[in-house]
Structure 1
Amino acid sequence: MTGQPLLAVHDLVVDLGQRRTATRAVDRVSLTVAAGETVGLVGESGSGKSTIARAILGLTPVTGGRIAIDGVDVTHAGRRQRRALSRDVQLVFQDPFSSLNPARRIGDSLVEPLLNRRGVDPVRRRTLVAEALGRVGLPAEAVHRYPGQFSGGQRQRIALARALVGTPRLLVTDEPVSALDLSVRAQIINLLADLQAELGFGHLFIAHDLAVVRHLSHRMVVLHQGRVVESGDAEEVYRRPVHPYTRALLAAVPVPDPGRARAALAAFARQPPQAGPVPGRCSIS
Structure 2
Amino acid sequence: MNLKHVVEAFAQIIPEEEKSAELEGDHYVVKLRGNGRSLPPDTENVTMSGLGDILEAGKDVVVLKSVDDGVERVPQPSLGALLAAYRSSEKVVERKSLRDLEVALHVRTVACTQSVEPSVIDGLALKWLALPVSDRWREAVSTALVGNWVAPLEEEGRLHVSALGALRADARAIHRHLVPVWRRRTRHGRVLSLDAVLGDGLSLYDLVAADVDLLSRVAGGIYEDERLNTVLRGLDPAEQQVVFAYAAADGTTWTEAAAAVGATDPNTFGERVRRKAKRLAAEQRRRCELVSRHP
Report the TM range for the smaller structure's normalisation: under 0.3
Larger radius of gyration: 2
TM-score (norm 1): 0.26
TM-score (norm 2): 0.25
Higher relative contact order (CA 8 A, sep 6+): 1
